[in-house]
């Protein structure tokens, strides 16, 4: 599973950023899940760093980014909290219009030049060290994607926001199914079945009470064993996490 940031730590990282530019970029990454991208003579322009000033539609609350590889334009909504940060950057840091149309420019070395991926990563590492984290920009994409799927469960919406060409890409990266989930799905299907489609034999009654299909005893035993093992694994992981938190507190 892709690693992700705790949402609370992500917000602290935005606060730790030293410029309005970086706060705005990190908020954009966290709220839209877009790739950080780059503005480079070799790699071209794509992602958040590849945006121009024309790619911000404040009236509709939308941004436009170029997708990696295909360079297709991709429009996604952005929440209201981003715009005040963007305004502070434009008024207090970008100041006089830069010679470039790049939305994000250097503030110190390379002032007025398009902000490169390496320069932004350096600023991100500096902010992360202030709160004791080791992060990279792509973690914001994972955080948004995983949170969206856990909250809505809508894989198609996640695909559209992330800009994946294929639904299977989104599913393979962010959807995780365990044995308990499979058992629960079978039970849910059972509720929708027409119980009168066929007579239920007494020997199948026990299995049908829990599962959607009349499995034989061996299959039921394997499903129950898998579910028990999964619960045991989760319990061990929770115990390990608890020990780690306890040692940190001590």
pLDDT of residue 140: 77
Domain boundaries, the chain: 7-174, 179-249
Which pLDDT tens digit goes with each residue over 60-96?
Answer: 999 898 887 666 888 888 888 999 999 999 999 987 6
pLDDT at 180 over 60: no
pLDDT surpassing 90 at residue 53: yes
Mean pLDDT of 151-176: 61
Q: Which H or E element spans position 221?
A: helix 217-249
Q: Kindly list the distances between the CA atom of residue 118 and the CA atoms of 66, 101, 115, 125, 131, in Å, as whole numbers in the listed order.
A: 19, 19, 8, 11, 21
More confident residue, 101 or 143: 101
Q: Which of 141-145, 209-213, 236-240 has the lowest mean pLDDT?
A: 209-213
- Give, rounded to a whole angstrom, the gap between the first and last alpha carbons of the chain: 30
What is the per-residue pLDDT for 2? 45
Residue 115 has pLDDT above 70, yes or no: yes
Question: What whole-number distance in Å separates Cα of residue 147 and Cα of residue 153?
Answer: 9
Q: What is the pLDDT, as a whole number, of residue 201?
A: 53
CA dist., res. 102 & res. 115, Å (int)? 8
179-182's contacts with Cβ under 8 Å and 24+ in sequence apart are 179/223, 179/226, 179/227, 179/229, 179/230, 180/227, 180/230, 180/231
Q: In the structure, what pLDDT confidence band is assigned to residue 141 with cuts at 50, 70 and 90?
A: confident
Taking only the tens place, the pLDDT of each residue in 2-40 is: 466 777 888 888 899 989 999 999 999 888 888 888 888
Name the burial class of residue 193, with classes exposed (0-12), middle (13-18) and buried (19+) by CB atoms within 10 angstroms of its CB: exposed
> 7-174: CATH homologous superfamily?
Intergrase catalytic core (1.10.443.10)
Say yes or no to pLDDT of 55 above 90.
yes
The segment with the largest mean pLDDT, out of 77-81, 139-143, 215-219, 238-242, is 77-81
C-alpha triplet 31, 32, 35: angle, nearest 5°: 120
Distances (CA, A) of 89 to 79, 93, 237: 17, 5, 43
pTM of the model: 0.62
Mean residue pLDDT of the chain comes to 75
Q: Residue written as tokens 């991208």?
A: 37
């Amino acid at each position: 599973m892709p690693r992700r940031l705790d949402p609370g730590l992500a917000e602290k990282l935005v606060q730790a950023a030293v410029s309005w530019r970086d706060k705005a970029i990190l908020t954009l990454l966290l709220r839209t899940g877009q790739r950080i991208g780059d503005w480079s003579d070799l790699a071209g322009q794509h992602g958040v760093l590849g945006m121009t000033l024309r790619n911000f539609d404040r009236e509709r609350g939308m941004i436009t980014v170029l997708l990696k590889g295909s360079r297709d334009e991709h429009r996604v909504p952005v929440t209201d909290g981003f715009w005040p940060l963007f305004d502070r950057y434009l008024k207090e840091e970008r100041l006089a219009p830069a010679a470039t149309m790049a939305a994000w420019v250097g503030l110190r070395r390379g002032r007025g030049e398009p902000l490169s991926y390496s320069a932004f990563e350096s600023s991100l590492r500096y902010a992360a060290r202030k709160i004791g984290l080791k992060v990279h920009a792509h973690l914001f994409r994972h955080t948004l994607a995983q949170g969206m799927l856990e909250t809505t469960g809508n894989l198609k919406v996640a695909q559209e926001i992330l800009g994946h060409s294929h639904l299977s890409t989104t599913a393979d990266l962010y959807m995780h199914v365990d044995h308990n989930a499979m058992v629960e799905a079978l039970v849910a299907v059972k509720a929708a079945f027409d119980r009168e489609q066929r007579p239920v034999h007494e020997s199948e009654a026990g299995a049908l009470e829990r599962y959607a299909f009349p499995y034989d005893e061996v299959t039921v035993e394997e499903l129950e064993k898998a579910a028990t093992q999964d619960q045991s694994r989760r319990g061990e992981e929770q115990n390990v996490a608890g020990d780690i938190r306890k040692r940190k507190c001590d």
